[in-house]
Chains A and B, each alone.
Chain A
Amino acid sequence: MSDTPEILPLGPDGVLVRFSTALSEPANRAALAFRAAMEARALAGVVESATSLTSAFFRFSPSDLPRAVLEGTIREELGTRDWHAADLPQGRKLWELPAAFGGAEGPGLAESADLAGVSEARAIEEICSQSLRVLALGFAPGQPYLGFLPEHWNIPRQSDVTPEVPRGAVVVAVRQVIPFANAAPTGWRQVGRTGFRCFDPSLTPEIPLSPGDELCFRPVPAADLARLETAPHGGATWEALE
């Protein structure tokens, strides 16, 4: 476990700047702020950048920008401030997302609650009673990693991959919750389902969530899902934060 930023190769055309190997809210803020600062430098030869939970990634064109030059710029930028003390991005939103939990919509709820050491009812209450941060978008377009649930939700991924969970599946693992953007395989356990679409080409913006946004789940009866699925944002609403 380290909180000194590491500069690491990821593929022949990528550099990962890892702010922590442990889940940490300050490391997440550091990654977001550092990527923004590097973007502002607009270094020629950097072809894209992104943030994960605790890292920022820079893809470059090795024929236009030597790795050593990019790493030098990264080191220089890292030295300008204490990135773990960075503020969250501006213009954040607070979302409320209706979701049905348990039963056919959450086949993994019982096992998850058991691993977290709480009853199923208590599990739903804990997932829904706090606002969760959009830590990163990843895996599939617009799909948020939401954190953090309380420490006793530090439950492992399954050792076997579930071949497919449906679009909108609400899955949990390692103190995080994810509503799935599309049907996909996963090692996380499905506890519920939402009509919210992480990427909706009929809406502007197509991707509703941004890293830094906050999100609360609101439990609804499974019977309401069919109706909510036809509503904009699957019935989710938002207000401005700050």
Chain B
Amino acid sequence: MSRSLTILRGGPHLSVQDGGRAGGLGIGLSRGGAADRQAYLAGLALLGQGLGMAVIECAGLGARLRFDTPTRFALTGALMRASLDGQPLESQASHLAPAGAVLDIAALTEGVYGYLSVAGGITNDEIYGGRGYHRIGGFGAALEAGEVLPIGPDADLAAPPHRLRLAQVTAPIRVMPGPQTGLFSDEMCNTFASTTFTRSARANRQGVRLDHEGAAFSTGGQLNHVSDFIAEGDIQMTGDGTPYVLLADCQTIGGYPRIGTVLPADLPRIAQAEAGAEIRFRYVSLEEAEAAWQSDAARLGDLKRACTPRLRDPREMTDLLSYELIDRPPQDVVG
């Protein structure tokens, strides 16, 4: 039995994402993948999955879809007002959907990027070593109503649901100096570190614009620097001195100077900051930046250890028989 889900309401804000395409810098391809990598890994952790699985990323406007086969799924990232066949669902938790159940994500209530992960992963065709939509890279497309997405096998359909409670961090966003930080005067870097920015409404998977009151951040030669490599998390000052924090789908080379790089551990907070949210930065040393670095495998391991069992509430299960939890393993697991 092949497994799948069907998109009932999609749009430009809905896409398949995964851990991104590694190793593409030499051809001009940034890694891409989930805009909030932490939330992506959290979804894998809740379902006991390994690295590399593809999920659905949902920004802003929500989504509606139908599980064509019994499916374990998790909701992570932005808090969602979500329901399964009308029953409200907990965010940062895993759930089980019977065949034909309709998941409705009416809205994201806190944050920008929500993730729907499914056990077995979304198994649409790989392009250039990844399944995710990468707009600047020209790979894939947003998800539209009517699309049927295949799902890989789930060897553990009867696994109990889990939840994941992570501490909210409110400390300033950590920034490490980069190759162009020295183009800015010390005074300007100090001003940068003491400014309260506001997340602009202008943001997408490529970058987030930050607004602030006060002078522009300029190197003097802003428009004539040699283009050079960009790291995900770089804070680029465009020609008029406005900061943009570059996210997963960033360009690989750019000429606007960068005042520093947001640590990967803190970048999800930039991605999830809603329009109008206040953002402050703090410079850290290279040593502190390296100490905060973790491989995806290590982060996934930590997240798995942080998951706790969630008692399935029978009131969430309107038709117990349809779950096929007992005795008979689902055919797709055997096949």
Contact = CB atoms under 8 A, between A and B. Distances in A.
Interface stretch (B56-64, B141-149, B221-229): B221-229
B106 interface: no
A62 B290 contact: yes
A49 B27 CA distance: 10
A139 B223 contact: no
Interface residues of A, number: 58
A53 interface: yes
Contacts of A52: 227-229, 253
A177 interface: no
A11 B233 contact: yes
- Nearest 10 A/B pairs, CB to CB: A138-B253, A159-B239, A156-B223, A11-B231, A50-B26, A50-B25, A12-B293, A182-B138, A8-B179, A138-B28
Given A9-B286, A59-B25, A181-B28, A173 B255 contact: yes
Contacts of A154: 224
B244 to A, nearest CB: 9
Contacts of B261: 10-11
A138 B23 contact: no
Nearest to B178: A10
13 contacts: A11-B261, A14-B231, A51-B26, A55-B228, A59-B25, A139-B252, A159-B222, A160-B240, A174-B224, A174-B226, A182-B137, A187-B223, A187-B255
B238 interface: yes
B67 interface: no
A59 B177 CA distance: 17
B104 interface: no
Interface of B: 22-29, 127-128, 135-138, 176-179, 206, 222-224, 226-229, 231-233, 238-240, 251-256, 261, 263-264, 286, 289-290, 292-293, 295, 298
A48 B264 contact: no
Contact of A12 (B24, B229, B264): B264
Quick one: which of A18, A143, A154 has the most chain B CB within 10 A? A143
A207 B263 CA distance: 32
Interface string A17-32: 0101111000000000
A199 interface: yes
Contacts of A11: 176, 178, 231-233, 261, 264
Nearest to A206: B128
A57 interface: yes
B228 A156 contact: no
A97 interface: no
Contacts of B222: 159
Contacts of B227: 52-53, 136, 138, 145, 174, 176
Interface string A156-196: 11111100000100000110100001101101000000000
Contacts of A167: 138
A41 B229 CA distance: 22
A140 B251 contact: yes
Contact of A159 (B228, B233, B240, B254): B240
A138 B251 contact: yes
Interface string A32-63: 00000000000000011111111101010111
Contacts of B25: 48-50, 57, 59
A13 interface: yes
Given A136-B227, A160-B240, A187-B223, 7 more contacts: A9-B179, A50-B252, A54-B228, A63-B295, A139-B253, A159-B238, A174-B227
B223 A157 contact: yes
A140 B138 contact: yes
Nearest to A6: B179
A18 B228 contact: yes
Interface string A109-137: 00000000000000000000000000011
B286 to A, nearest CB: 5
